Structure 1
């Protein structure tokens, strides 16, 4: 199971506010019930099979274009650990246990 964090930034919009774009991204993510996601103030974290995460990120990347953005910048970070099972919770618990 892979964990990916991505940030999508619509460029060429009529406003500096992005909250309506973020809301539309959330709606698209919610359609993909086979993956787990957490939105944060600065990006979104996904958990699932790597190929599936790429598919979901691609579908979400298209949303700002469908809503009038002239350009979209998407940054992606991937943690694909294959030596043992990993999850969002496991990563957080690992750090918390060391505090």
Structure 2
């Protein structure tokens, strides 16, 4: 299981506000029920099989174009741990345990 964090920035839009684009990205992510996602103020984190995550990121990358953006910049970070099972929840629990 892999975890990916991505940020999608539409460029060439009519306004500096991006919340409408973010809402449309969220709607697209909800269609992909086989992955887990968490939106943050600065990006989105998804978890699942790596090939599937890349497919989902590609689908989400296309959303701003469909909504009028002339250019889209997407940054991706991938954590693909294969020595043991990993998840967003497991990573947070590991840190929380060390804070005690």
- TM bin (shorter chain): over 0.9
Alignment map for 1:1-99 (pairs within 5 Å)? 1-99=1-99
For structure 1, which runs of at least 5 residues remain unmatched after alignment?
none
Please state whether the residue corresponding to 1:97 is helix, strand or coil: helix
How far is 1:9 from its partner? 0.2
Runs of 4+ deviating beyond 4 Å: none
Partner Cα distance (1:83, 1:37) in 2: 22
Partner Cα distance (1:75, 1:94) in 2: 26
How far is 1:31 from its partner? 0.2
How far is 1:27 from its partner? 0.2
TM-score normalized with structure 2 length = 0.98
For structure 2, which runs of at least 5 residues remain unmatched after alignment?
none
TM-score normalized with structure 1 length = 0.99
Please state whether the residue corresponding to 2:53 is helix, strand or coil: helix
RMSD: 0.3
Partner Cα distance (1:39, 1:8) in 2: 12
Please state whether the residue corresponding to 2:33 is helix, strand or coil: coil
Partner Cα distance (1:30, 1:40) in 2: 15
How far is 1:32 from its partner? 0.3
Partner Cα distance (1:23, 1:58) in 2: 17
